Amino acid sequence: MKLFATLGLAAAMTAAAFAGPAAAQASDPENTLVITTASGDITVQLRPDLAPKHVERIKALAGDGFYDGLVFHRVIDGFMAQTGDPTGTGMGGSDMPDLEAEFSDETFDRGTLGMARSQDPNSANSQFFIMLADGDFLDGQYTIVGDVVEGMENVDKIKKGDAAQNGTVEDPDKMVKVRLAGQE
């Protein structure tokens, strides 16, 4: 806000126009996910406007403590960091039924949080990934559920996997705790 006061009202309005939907929703604690890692917090603004069922699933699982202690089992440098599997293998999920895809016209940019799935577009369950770089080749094929609004430097610190093993991470970093900002 200090920046906007310095720039003046007209500049602030222009900056707000380019800030995007995640910034517009950033003050919504019920849709703000905080992922605590050993390196620090990662704050994600969830996007129920794009994927209401997927956002509700992540919120429910976070509220139940499902994600606490789960590892980033697949991390590909220059692509993404994947987590949310209780088995740590990429093959597991929650006990809840899989979700139907909620594709949108939004783009997969650095910091976008998307739902992982199998080849079946309607197979997302609990796993998600955070983009380490832009990935427009995923647009319209995976469900976008949010955007990192703070702590991207902590995402960048997540231990990378072996490229020859499709990003499988040996001794992976974990999500210490995952909660909604309103549940502090």
pLDDT by residue, tens only, the chain of 184 residues: 333 333 333 333 333 333 444 444 457 999 999 999 999 999 999 999 999 999 999 999 999 999 999 999 999 999 999 999 999 999 999 999 999 999 999 999 999 999 999 999 999 999 999 999 999 999 999 999 999 999 999 999 999 999 899 999 999 999 999 999 977 6
What's the order of all strands across the beta sheet hosting 144-150? 74-76, 80-83, 128-131, 112-115, 144-150, 40-46, 32-37, 177-180
User: Of 78, 91, 72, whose CA–CA distance to 169 is shortest?
Assistant: 72
Q: What is the pLDDT of residues 119-172, one digit of tens each?
A: 999 999 999 999 999 999 999 999 999 999 999 999 999 999 998 999 999 999
- Provide the pLDDT for residue 167: 97
Please give the share of the chain, as a percent, with pLDDT higher than 90: 83
What ranges make up the beta strands (E) of the chain? 32-37, 40-46, 74-76, 80-83, 112-115, 128-131, 144-150, 177-180
Q: What domains does the chain contain, in order, with CATH numbers?
A: 25-183 (2.40.100.10)
Q: What is the pTM of this model?
A: 0.86
Give the N- to C-terminal CA distance of the chain in Å, as an integer.
Answer: 23
Alpha carbon separation from 175 to 19, 85, 90 (Å, rounded): 28, 11, 15
